[in-house]
Amino acid sequence: MAKRKDVRSGIAGAGFSASFHFEAIKKVYGTNPEVVGVFAIDADQTADFAAQRDIKAFDTLDEMIDSVDVVHVCTTATAHEEVAIAALEKDKFVIVEKPLTGYFGDGSDDFNGDTCCKQTALDEAIASVKRMLAAEHASKGQILYAENWVYAPSIQKEREIIEKTGAQILWIHGEEAHSGSHAKTYAQWKYSGGGVMIGKGCHPLTAALYLKRVEGIARNGRPIRPASISARTHAITRMDSFRDEGHIRSDYYDIDDFSMMHVVFEDGTIADIFASDIIVGGIHNWIEVAANNHRSICNINPNTAMSTYNCLESNFDDIYVVEKIGTKAGWSDPSPDEDWFTGYPQEIEAFYRTVAYGDPVESNITLAADCITTIYSAYVSAEQKGTEVSITTLD
């Protein structure tokens, strides 16, 4: 058996996603991973993250990039472009968390995502994607886009069905929803590049874009890409009429908390993607594929690998059930391995194989770019109350 290659990595960012990336790296089996260290702009947070995991706390991003083969970009989305380009310029691989990049305002104190010009947002987001594409073209490194839905077991099973049966997907519908992100910065457009349409909508949207790519490549050798979009956004928890009973996060400043996107692909088929921060009862992440020869419901979360009825909430005080469940009493679907169903370890395993052995990438920069141009075109459409807007695709 050939010796497994070593892969040295560094993590930019020391928050929530940095933690689950670190956990996924520990499960890599096809290469010998070594997390060399971490760098984040908050020095104390960097030191804590490093000490808890016995890795180095780097003082600068450059120093970390020089010490590794691959950089995990787990920073807030505002810094994805800057960190990814810095790594690519040194010919390193970069694993970039979602969203690839975006538009984070004009830097003015009174910037407001509700009222900003969405055509400017689209133009600036496209310019950012083009800079990242150019950096990748000029580099020996590569962008590996960390869209875990692509690697979720149910989506990969659906890929197999499409490839082996030559299926034509007629309609995809899907959703990512829960009762509100934990991240404080998520409340403001200038930190997140938009609201729920990008923050959550990017996941089921990218899964839909990915499966149409798979279909096109399987039958004709070229991906089927998005052509136009109609979208609506709403800020339900900011309505005067919203009756807050404390179960749903409601401190958003200038972002949407409900969105729907209707995508028309270049072959005329369609996808409808919902994203919201207004549902209780745990995460609701799923995608349904209606094809000419089959129909699949791919559940990301919840999954019914296990269902439990718990008589007394306090019995489960020290038992993790599933993300964002409101109560542990009564019936629930505890996830025996939530990360596995979500696709995190499979994603990192695949990326490390690319770094070590050059394996092809399922979730690459053009898929990420299609997600960004589709979503910011959706914001232009939503500004016009749902007018159909053409989507520019980039390579």
Ligand X SMILES: NC(=O)c1ccc[n+]([C@@H]2O[C@H](COP(=O)([O-])OP(=O)(O)OC[C@H]3O[C@@H](n4cnc5c(N)ncnc54)[C@H](O)[C@@H]3O)[C@@H](O)[C@H]2O)c1
**Which segments of 241-378 are extended strands (E)?**
258-265, 270-276, 284-291, 295-301, 308-310, 330-332
Q: Does 16 bind ligand X (CB under 6 A)?
A: yes
What is the closest distance, in whole angstroms, from the C-beta atom of residue 141 to ligand X in the complex? Answer: 18
From the list 39-47, 247-255, 270-278, 383-391, the region that binds ligand X by CB under 6 A is 39-47
Choose, by CB under 6 A, the member of 9, 11, 17, 121 that binds ligand X: 17
Closer residue to ligand X (CB): 74 or 271: 74
Burial bucket for residue 307 (CB in 10 Å: 0-12, 13-18, 19+):
exposed
**Minimum CB distance to ligand X, residue 336 (Å):** 19
Q: Is 382:218 a contact under the CB 8 Å cutoff? A: no
Q: Of 9, 75, 139, 206, which lies in the binding site for ligand X, with binding defined by CB under 6 A?
A: 75
Find where tokens 């053409």 sit.
390
CA distance 191 to 77: 7
CB contact set of 286 (below 8 Å; sequence gap of 6+): 174, 175, 204, 297, 298, 299, 300
CA distance 351 to 180: 29
Helix (H) or strand (E) holding 302: none
Among residues 47, 183, 227, 270, which is the contact residue for ligand X, using CB under 6 A? 183
Residue 187 found at the interface with ligand X (CB under 6 A): no
Radius of gyration of the chain (CA): 21
Binding test (CB under 6 A) with ligand X, winner from 5, 30, 45, 340: 45
Q: Which of residues 301-320 bind ligand X (CB under 6 A)?
A: none
> CB of residue 163 vs ligand X: minimum separation in angstroms?
25
77 interacts with ligand X by CB under 6 A: yes
Angle between helices 344-357 and 16-26 (to 10 degrees): 70
Whose CA is closest to 113, among 195, 197, 200, 201? 195
- Smallest distance from ligand X to CB 221, Å: 30
Stretch that binds ligand X, among 37-45, 169-177, 246-254, 386-394 (CB under 6 A): 37-45
Q: Does 41 bind ligand X (CB under 6 A)?
A: yes
Work out which of 98, 178, 225, 262 binds ligand X, going by CB under 6 A.
Answer: 98
CA distances from 12 to 21, 22, 273, 351, 370 (A): 11, 11, 30, 16, 24
The correct pick among 40, 208, 367, 371 for binding ligand X (CB under 6 A) is 40
Q: What is the DSSP string of 5-70?
A: PEEEEEEE--SHHHHHHHHHHHT--SSEEEEEEEE-SSHHHHHHHHHHHT-EE-S-HHHHHHT-SE
In the numeric block, the tokens 């007018």 are attached to 387
Strands 32-39 and 56-57 come out as parallel
Q: Is 12 in the site for ligand X (CB under 6 A)?
A: yes
Per CB under 6 A, which region of 14-22, 109-117, 121-129, 371-379 contacts ligand X?
14-22
The contact pattern for ligand X, residues 223-262, with x = CB under 6 A and - = no contact, is ----------------------------------------
Q: Which is nearer to ligand X, 14 or 391 (CB)?
A: 14
From the CB of 14, what's the least distance to ligand X, in Å?
4
Q: Is 76 in the site for ligand X (CB under 6 A)?
A: yes
How many residues bind to ligand X according to rule CB under 6 A?
23
Q: What single-letter DSSP state applies at residue 254? A: S
Joined tokens for residue 219: 């039958």
CB-CB neighbours of 50 under 10 Å: 20
Candidates 41-49, 208-216, 295-303, 316-324: pick the segment binding ligand X (CB under 6 A): 41-49
With tokens 């600036």, the residue in question is 124
Note whether 337 binds ligand X by CB under 6 A.
no
Residue 42 makes contact with ligand X by CB under 6 A: yes
Stretch that binds ligand X, among 15-23, 151-159, 208-216, 289-297 (CB under 6 A): 15-23
Using CB atoms, what's the residue nearest to ligand X? 15
**With binding defined as CB under 6 A, does residue 79 bind ligand X?**
yes
DSSP for 231-246 reads EEEE-GGGSTT----S
Residue 125 touching ligand X (CB under 6 A): no
Q: Which residues here bind ligand X, judged by CB under 6 A?
A: 12-18, 39-42, 45, 74-77, 79, 83, 97-98, 148, 183, 185
